């Protein structure tokens, strides 16, 4: 399938591909270069990576709360 590259280097992922990968607006996509095949490879990252990205957006106080709960072996925590 041919796709146009726009002036900012953007491409549109066709809806059929997004559905196949389960990609929705706001999702992160893992892009790699396959030098042997001379192509780009797109894949949806593992959910754990997405969770790590979410955690990276926590404030320092929220992170302290999370770490305290993990240390206390709590089953759940509340972010303030």
Backbone angles phi, psi at 42, to 5 degrees: -110, 140
Cβ 55 vs Cβ 66: under 8 Å: yes
pLDDT tens digit sequence for 5-25: 999 999 888 899 888 888 888
pLDDT at residue 6, rounded to an integer: 93
Show contacts of 66-69: CB within 8 Å, 24+ apart. Answer: none
pLDDT at residue 7, rounded to an integer: 93
Torsional sign, CA 10, 15, 19, 25: positive
Cβ 29 vs Cβ 23: under 8 Å: yes
Among 44, 15, 58, 27, which Cα is nearest to 66's? Answer: 58
pTM: 0.48
On the question of pLDDT at 80 being above 60, the answer is no
pLDDT tens digit sequence for 43-79: 777 655 566 667 677 777 777 776 666 555 444 444 4
Q: What is the mean pLDDT of residues 13-42?
A: 85
């Amino acid at each position: 399938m041919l796709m146009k590259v726009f002036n900012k280097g953007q491409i549109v992922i066709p809806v059929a591909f997004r559905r196949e990968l389960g990609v929705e607006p706001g999702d992160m996509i893992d892009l790699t270069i396959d030098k042997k095949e001379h192509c780009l490879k797109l894949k949806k990252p593992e959910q754990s990576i997405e969770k790590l990205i979410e955690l990276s957006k926590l404030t320092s106080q929220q992170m302290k709360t999370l770490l305290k709960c993990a240390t206390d072996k709590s089953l759940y925590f509340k972010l303030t």
